[in-house]
Amino acid sequence: MPELPEVEVTCRRIAPLLVGRKIRSVRTTADSYFFLTPPAEVAAALQGRTVSGVSRHGKYLRIEFEGGGCLVVHLGMTGQLFGSGVSSVRLLSATARASLAPEEQTAFEPDSHTHLHLRFEDGGADVYMRDVRKFGKVLVLGPGETHERLERLGIDALEVSGELLFSATRKRAVAIKSLLLDQVVLAGVGNIYADEALFLAGVRPTRRAARVTRKQCDGIADALRGILQRSIETGGSSISDYVAPDGSDGSYQDERRVYARAKQPCFVCGSPIRKTVIGQRGTHYCPSCQK
DNA sequence: ACCGCACCCTGAGCGC
DNA sequence: TGCGCTCAGGGTGCGG
């Protein structure tokens, strides 16, 4: 489940495969709500364009073109952006990996979930976007054009401060966790990092936002920045049953304190971690450490 | 303006 | 073995 760190790592790894290269042709799947811009228009808009850069805001990626305009990509829950070369192995789903013998794992073949397939004039590695559940999104923006979804995004979560959080929480009746997940307040935080940050800050996720103190807001902001930064450093791994054979993948999953640890002992006090539901999302916390 | 909830999708895991 | 059920969740959009 890609959140800010996973998107940042994807951004850094995909950039060398895109920047400076001219797109020769684009293959897409059939139209679906995955395509905010219809697939035929995406293909037409990308063909012949040269990528000038890749950037990220919150969980959104922008693949920018020389002469203006860009392709906006959101990975949703299961989105993957990767090249046909060395990086493909790490970015395939656990299922796809498990079904392949180790010696076969370098040969990715586009499947029905591969919604974009980019080929380049230089004949080098292809680039794929794959998304099994289609919660991801792609859209094309012309030069200077914007989109409401992007306009509304709050400050990137790596830049969050206690002051910002404090002012955003005033008069808000929602659970503090729901507020952290609100991309209009803060862009990039997802379910895992919200739970982890609230644990580190010692704040119970069900607490109403308006009742969180200024000091606690400072704690949450510090915890968020620290966790996101640390996760990027470790490769931005998300929670998964899969363990990379070579162990070279992101390892943040090994550092989580509460997420997906229901009934297991808290690392600080030993109390069993509790699981509840907030805003349709599984929520994990220590009943003793988080007030 | 704000809040809670249904919904989009597919695969994994479970019980029978 | 295989069916049917439940769960996972980012984000939108609806009704209250």
Question: Residue A105: its pLDDT value, please?
Answer: 55
Token pair recorded at residue A73: 């990509």
Measuring from the CA of residue A60 to each C1', which nucleotide is nearest? C10
Is residue A86's pLDDT more than 80?
no
Cα A233 to chain centroid distance, Å, stands at 15
- Which positions on chain C have an atom < 7 Å from some protein CB? 7-12
Residue A211 to residue A202: CA distance in whole angstroms: 14
Measuring from the CA of residue A132 to each C1', which nucleotide is nearest? B10
Q: Which residues touch strand C (CB under 7 A)?
A: A 1, 3, 58-59, 74, 76-78, 133, 135, 149, 181, 183, 190-192, 277, 280-282
Mean pLDDT taken over chain A: 88
Q: How confident is the model at residue A255 (pLDDT cuts 50, 70, 90)?
A: confident
pTM to 2 decimal places: 0.91
Average pLDDT over residues A99-107: 55
Average pLDDT over residues A262-274: 93
Q: Quote the DSSP letter at residue A259.
A: T
Owner of token pair 């103190």: A213
Strands A155-156 and A186-187: parallel
Contact assessment for residue A177 and residue A195, using Cβ atoms and an 8 Å cutoff: yes
- Which positions on chain B have an atom < 7 Å from some protein CB? 2-13
Cα A108 to chain centroid distance, Å, stands at 22
The closest of A195, A193, A214, A191 to A204, measured between CA atoms, is A195
Question: Residue A109: its pLDDT value, please?
Answer: 84
The closest of A25, A49, A130 to A84, measured between CA atoms, is A130
Beta bridge partners of A80: A130
Q: Which residues touch strand B (CB under 7 A)?
A: A 33, 77, 94-95, 98, 113, 132-135, 171-175, 178, 209, 241, 279-280
> Which of the residues A13, A49, A59, A274 is marked catalytic?
A59
Which residues are CB-neighbours of A107 under 8 A, at least 6 positions away?
A: none
Residue A200 to residue A193: CA distance in whole angstroms: 10
Residue A72 to residue A61: CA distance in whole angstroms: 6
The closest of A79, A74, A70 to A140, measured between CA atoms, is A70
